Structure 1
Amino acid sequence: MDLSVRLTSAALNAGSVLSTKLAGKVSFYLFCRPLARSKVRGTEREVHERAVTETLTVNGKQVVAYRWGDGSRPVLLLHGWRSRASRYAPLVQRLQELGCTAVSFDAPAHGDSQGDTVTILEYRELIAQLQEKYGTFESVVAHSFGVLCSFLALREPLRAGRLVAIAGMSDFQFLRDEFADQTKLNARLRADLQRRIETELFPHQADPWVDFDAKQHTGQIDLPILVIHDEDDDTVPVAQAHRLKAAYGDQLELVVTKGLGHRKIMTDPAVLDSAIGFLVPESVGEVG
């Protein structure tokens, strides 16, 4: 844990002794916000700058959407927390070579989009807007938090032929618990955070912990799934991938890598080969 997190942890827990309400409000504020925006990397810039862009709107926030291609054979790309669409630059190149159109967006509070908060429901709304424009997606590729969002959207309204989930979380409770563990919240603040998530962030969900759990709704998702996860991922543990495999069985192919972690896995050539071979089966033998 770095110094800033240690100081935040100490302040929140000390503050809860005086006022759980105030410290809880600060904890909830931090939980809802990425707090940092990723910049376009030099290796991504050429791909990023040749995208066709448009503006979407969700909850009053302007969101930048991207398209690489003429719209035929659309493939939806969903980034994770504190990430952005440009992270998919190597995959975009490969998809275009195969005649596919890559479609993505910077979520609210990410990349070039507005806002300082984002929720899984906003992801779903943005996906719905792109679905209306492009129709059924040939495939979906998601990373990290984007994986959880993709499973929710695939129940409704997202229509797609295949899903590749990379280094993703499958359990919505993981987000709450990981945040609480990282900031070392005491029991009082953990309970307060859960209450605020349920009543303030998702007041219209009967049970967000079940509603947003990718494992709980297998009967509503019938497309082939490839999950790629690294056993050394220290951001989202590989247990999240095994959890999906246990739920989806033969419908889901699991590939476990080693030594790539949570981010390098996005650009690893062997991972890209696996993803492309699954997304565009007829490309096997054409790539590489």
Structure 2
Amino acid sequence: MDSTFVSNGLELACHIGRPPGDVQPGPGVILCHGFPIETLDAERSAGTFPQLMDRMASTLGCVTLTFNFRGCGNSEGDFSLQGWIDDLRAAISHLLTVSDPSGVILVGTNTGGSIAVCVGADDPRVAAVGLLSPRADFDDWAQHPRRFLEHAREIGAIHDRKFPASTDEWAREFRRFRPVASARRFAPRPMLVMHGDEDDSVPVSDARQLVNAHGDAELSLLEGAGHRLRHDPRAIAILLGWLDRMRSVQHHPSAAAG
């Protein structure tokens, strides 16, 4: 079901998946897309995610949600890292409003995975996180912020030529949020990290940094896989199996955090 919710006054497009039968006890699932890669790719961000979320809902027996971060797809607004953090927090609240899960499992691809662990570290509603090809930091963006700002405009993630009001403040957010430190704080709640050993966008060392910081995360390296793991059937099979296992625990996220 296609719908919307509001984050900081912006209307964000989302898709909610529901199982064909009764919803089974346990956490719901939210899937976060990554930062667009190609020119005008922002318009198509997460375009195939609704089908995956419907499959997850049917397979796992839970309510699922995917959405477009601000600046992407049919969502309003312009990209900022703080804005995307706020959007995910709002998405969690929205899922809890439209359903009654015992908590939320966050799944994120690429930048979406990095944001998922940053949000999850400080949100007791998050029971577990699954990260696909996550980046360990945003330092490459921070090193050349004006170049990255132009890139964000070129791919369509920033529409307003007057945005941001302060490039310096917009860029400071890239060092404010630290996925590795967040992974450390997220422990001992469960974390899965998947990475392709032939990823030419994010090195495997990023995945290892996150896993080592957490201390007890599951690491799955996929032989011959590239950056976009959501298109790899092996990755989806591993993810669905892990999600089923996480939901079967059926513990409240606050218990998992303790």
Instruction: State the TM-score, normalized to the length of structure 1.
Output: 0.64
Q: Which of 133, 156, 160 matches 2:94?
A: 133
Deviation at 1:158, TM superposition (A): 5.9
1: CA distance, partners of 2:223 / 2:118 = 28
Unaligned runs of 5+ in 2: 37-43, 97-101, 150-165, 249-258
Match of 1:68 in 2: 17
- Secondary structure at the residue paired with 1:85? coil
Using a 3 Å threshold, how does the CA distance of structure 1 residues 219 and 240 change in structure 2: closer, same or farther? closer
1:247-266 correspondence runs (5 A): 247-249=213-215, 251-263=216-228, 265-266=229-230
Structure 1 residues 151 and 98, CA gap change in structure 2 (3 angstroms): closer
Over 3 Å counting, the alpha-carbon distance change for 1:254 and 1:179 in structure 2 is farther
- Asked if 1:268 corresponds to 2:223, the answer is no
Paired with 2:186 and 2:246, the residues of 1 have a C-alpha distance of 23
Does the C-alpha gap of structure 1 residues 255 and 91 become closer, same or farther in structure 2, counting only changes over 3 Å?
farther
CA deviation after TM superposition for structure 1 residue 177, in Å: 4.9
RMSD: 3.0
Equivalent in the alignment of 2:180: 215
State the partner residue of 1:146: 112
| 1:243 to partner: Cα distance | 1.2
2: distance between equivalents of 1:255 and 1:178? 32
Is the alpha carbon distance of 1:142 and 1:256 closer, same or farther for their aligned partners in structure 2, counting shifts above 3 Å? same
**Paired residue for 2:252?**
none
| Structure-1 residue corresponding to 2:157 | none
Question: Structure 1 residue 212: deviation in Å?
Answer: 1.1
In the alignment, residue 76 of structure 1 is paired with which amino acid? I
Partner secondary structure for residue 48 of structure 2:
helix
Letter in 1 for 2:136: S
SS in 2 for 1:141: strand
> Is the Cα–Cα contact under 8 Å of residues 90 and 267 in structure 1 kept in the other structure?
no
CA distance 1:157–1:122, change in 2 (3 Å): farther
Structure with max Cα Rg:
1
Q: For 2:237 and 2:10, how far apart are their aligned partners in 1?
A: 36
Per the normalisation by structure 2, the TM-score is 0.71
Q: Aligned-pair distance for 1:278? A: 1.0
The percent of aligned pairs where both chains have the same amino acid is: 20
> Which secondary structure does the structure 1 equivalent of 2:70 belong to?
coil
* Post-superposition CA distance 1:200-241 (Å, at most 9, x none): 2166x6xx52x3111124442131111000111111121211
- CA pair 97-111 structure 1, distance change in 2 beyond 3 A: same
Consecutive unaligned residues of structure 1, counting only runs of 5 or more, are 1-50, 184-195
Is the contact between residue 131 and residue 137 of structure 1 (CA under 8 Å) also seen in structure 2?
A: no
Structure 2: distance between partners of 1:55 and 1:267: 27
Which has the higher relative contact order, 1 or 2, with Cα contacts under 8 A spaced 6 or more apart? 2
Structure holding more helix per residue: 1
